[in-house]
Amino acid sequence: MANGTPTLEGFTEFVTDVMGVPAASFPSEGSLGMVFRLARDLVMTDLNAIDPSLYEACVYNLAASYLLKFAQDPSSASNPTYWADIRKKLGMNTTTPGLIQSSSDNGTSQSWMIPDSLKNLSLADLDAMKNPYGQFYLSIMQQVGSVWGMA
């Protein structure tokens, strides 16, 4: 799988082997193709110069993050709420317009410092932070630098 050239077949293996999606809840080919193409188009191809297997891993992880967001549960599946349950567990059905910078009440107060690298997150980036596949992708992309708008 890790040859540096992401393919739809490789992503399908990723969904089966890494994500562990059961056959009864497996997404349609249309859904797999859409999220794969979107991720492939968004991940910087410059990663190939650093490490082709890293580029491939980023494409598959970003596609997996999108799949978690977009996959639909087939009503005929043995678990007809598989994808909905994952989204609920990860808190993906809620809007997160930003990060908490401070909070207080009558007796206590606290504040978090927001690192500069998190101040420029897009809504898609904030959404990706809600699942482990998106977190992997974002962590690699932050290491690349500000070329793509993250750091």
Q: Residue 2: inside a domain, yes or no? A: no
Q: Residue 66: inside a domain, yes or no? A: yes
Instruction: State the average pLDDT over residues 46-54.
Output: 89
DSSP 21-87: --GGGPPPHHHHHHHHHHHHHHS-TTHHHH-HHHHHHHHHHHHHHHHHHH----TTSSSTTHHHHHH
Query: Residue 22: how many CB atoms within 10 A of its CB?
Result: 11
Computed over every residue of the chain, the mean pLDDT equals: 84
Q: In the structure, what pLDDT confidence band is assigned to residue 148 with cuts at 50, 70 and 90?
A: very low
Number of domains observed in the structure of the chain: 1
Check pLDDT > 80 for residue 45: yes
Q: In the structure, what pLDDT confidence band is assigned to residue 149 with cuts at 50, 70 and 90?
A: very low
Percent of the chain residues past pLDDT 90, beyond the cut? 51
Residue 2's pLDDT is what?
A: 57
Residue 151's pLDDT is what?
A: 41
Q: Identify how many contiguous H helices and E strands the chain contains and give both numbers.
A: 8, 2
Q: How many CA atoms lie within 13 A of 114 on its CB side?
A: 10
Residue 77's pLDDT is what?
A: 76
Per-residue pLDDT reduced to its tens digit, 85-102: 999 999 888 766 656 666
Q: Are 151 and 117 contacting, i.e. CB atoms less than 8 angstroms apart? A: yes
- Tell which wins on pLDDT, 70 or 79: 70
Q: Residue 69: inside a domain, yes or no? A: yes
Per-residue pLDDT reduced to its tens digit, 96-123: 665 666 677 777 777 666 666 666 677 7
Strand partners, 57: none
Residue 10's pLDDT is what?
A: 97
Check pLDDT > 50 for residue 139: yes
Residue 145's pLDDT is what?
A: 66
Q: Name the residue range of residue 85's domain.
A: 8-148
Q: Residue 3: inside a domain, yes or no? A: no
Check pLDDT > 60 for residue 57: yes
